[in-house]
Structure 1
Amino acid sequence: MARPPSIGEAQLLDLLMPVFREKGFEGALIGDLSAASGLQRASLYHRFPAGKEGIAEAVLTAVGERFLWILEPLRTESDVSQGMDETARRLSDFYGAGALSCVLDTMTLAGAPEKVREHARSLAVTWIEAMAEAAQRAGRGPDDARRVAKDVFLRIEGALVLARVLGDTEPFTAAVALLPTLLAPQRD
């Protein structure tokens, strides 16, 4: 009989994600992933036969599931404003109030396989589409909603970079706080 895994899949991916967040795909060595997970290299290869690329894909799948939860209020909350506020709160939690790098960004740095880059790209598109849908439900036209959703995405991602460079999370906190205001049309 096969021995049960010493660590569950979700917990394992939560331990592996920070390595990719901090080092990107190319910089994340199997030794780093082994140390972060507490598993021997052989155990990692047993669980992820495709090696580092398989681990990266699994981490991005977990990030995608988390993003679905983060974005869910934008898509389902009957009060669009409340949905925007809740999504902003969840985004802040996911990014450690701006202290954590964006795994979508770090996974697409030089050296990442195209499959990994495409997976990260699809998650970014999902995020932008969810914000555009919310902006439309709040009263913006389709083109304006897509434009403003991209702008919000750029502000949040740029704020993560600025927070990391300056060692100050305030730019991220400010960008996330603006999410509801920027997505909803201005009322006169």
Structure 2
Amino acid sequence: MRTLNERADVIPMLAEVFRELGFEGASLSRITERTGLGKGSLYHFFPGGKDEMARAVLAHVDGWFEREIYVPLRDDAPDVAIARMWRGVDDYFRSGRRVCLVGAFALDGTRDRFAAAIASYFTRWIESLRDALVRDGWPATEAADRAEEVVLGIQGALVLARATGDEAIFGRALARFQGRLRQKPSL
């Protein structure tokens, strides 16, 4: 069995287990098998069991998106922040090879258990991108529509790339949406 000293070291490993197996498929025995950690270690770090593990993973994902995507979209120059979003999303989802854990949780029976965290992830992404577009000169309604379309498209591209085994779909979708954001509506 593997020995880790920090809860934070365990969370990325758990995230990959949940990404691969889903919440329901990630039994405690499969989690121990995949992470190399004993049940005692897991319960030491997560006394609330699998639900606490999932909450910690969702908080970890949320923290990354808050730092790397949402805050720059809200605070940085729009063109810089949007370019950073494209790079960050491509890196984070490994050019379409990595499923969106929050999206996966939204699609199965787990959704009700973690509804607030799931909704917040998507809502804040759309709102942050909308705010950047408005600061970039887009009318508010069109910025909101386009931001929703982009987040929807990214999520759909992840699903389609995974379903077809064609990771290039994700790159093509990102390029398509980048082009759409460069076409500001006329005022």
Could you tell me the TM-score, scaled by structure 1's length? 0.88
Question: Which residue is 2:4 aligned to?
Answer: 6
Given the alignment of the two structures, is residue 36 of structure 1 paired with residue 34 of structure 2, yes or no?
Answer: yes
The one-letter code matched in structure 2 to 1:77 is D
CA RMSD of aligned residues (A): 1.9
User: Contact 1:84/1:179 (CA < 8 Å) preserved in 2?
Assistant: no
- In structure 2, the CA distance between the partners of 1:130 and 1:68, relative to structure 1 (3 Å rule), is same
Q: CA deviation at 1:31?
A: 1.6
User: Contact 1:92/1:98 (CA < 8 Å) preserved in 2?
Assistant: yes
2:135 and 2:179 map into 1 onto residues whose CA distance is 14
The Cα offsets for residues 14-57 of structure 1, whole Å up to 9 and x where unpaired, read as: 11101111222111111222223321112212211211111000
Q: CA deviation at 1:184?
A: 4.7
Q: Count matched residues.
A: 183
- Residue among 108, 133, 143 paired with 1:145: 143
- Residue among 55, 58, 61 paired with 2:59: 61
Higher relative contact order (CA 8 A, sep 6+): 1
2:63 and 2:119 map into 1 onto residues whose CA distance is 15
Seq. identity, %: 33
Q: Name structure 1 gaps, 5 residues minimum.
A: none
The one-letter code matched in structure 2 to 1:33 is I
- In structure 2, the CA distance between the partners of 1:44 and 1:97, relative to structure 1 (3 Å rule), is same
Could you tell me the TM-score, scaled by structure 2's length? 0.89
Given the alignment of the two structures, is residue 118 of structure 1 paired with residue 111 of structure 2, yes or no?
Answer: no
- In structure 2, the CA distance between the partners of 1:85 and 1:113, relative to structure 1 (3 Å rule), is closer
Q: Name structure 2 gaps, 5 residues minimum.
A: none
Question: Which residue is 2:131 aligned to?
Answer: 133
Deviation larger for 68-77 or 51-60: 68-77
The one-letter code matched in structure 1 to 2:163 is V
User: Contact 1:98/1:163 (CA < 8 Å) preserved in 2?
Assistant: yes
Question: Which residue is 2:88 aligned to?
Answer: 90
Question: Which residue is 1:101 aligned to?
Answer: 99
